[in-house]
Amino acid sequence: MEYWTLARFNFLAKEKWYRKVARSIVTILDSDKAFIG
């Protein structure tokens, strides 16, 4: 596989992972707020 293709694939995979993690954190914080409030 070409290096740039691999780098791009890796970047996109990380982006997707970061977004998933960020969404999970937001969900946890939201439910935390709802639980406290």
Cα distance between residue 32 and residue 5, in whole Å: 40
Q: Domain limits at 27?
A: 8-36
pLDDT of residue 20: 96
Answer whether 0.85 is exceeded by the pTM. Answer: no
- Residue 32 within a domain: yes
Residue 35 has pLDDT above 70, yes or no: no
Q: Encoding tokens for residue 35?
A: 């639980």
1 vs 9, residue with greater confidence = 9
- Residue 1 within a domain: no
- Residue 2 within a domain: no
pLDDT of residue 36: 62
Give the number of domains in the chain.
Answer: 1
How far apart, in Å, are the Cα atoms of 18 and each of 7, 15, 21, 31, 36?
16, 5, 5, 20, 27
- Residue 26 within a domain: yes
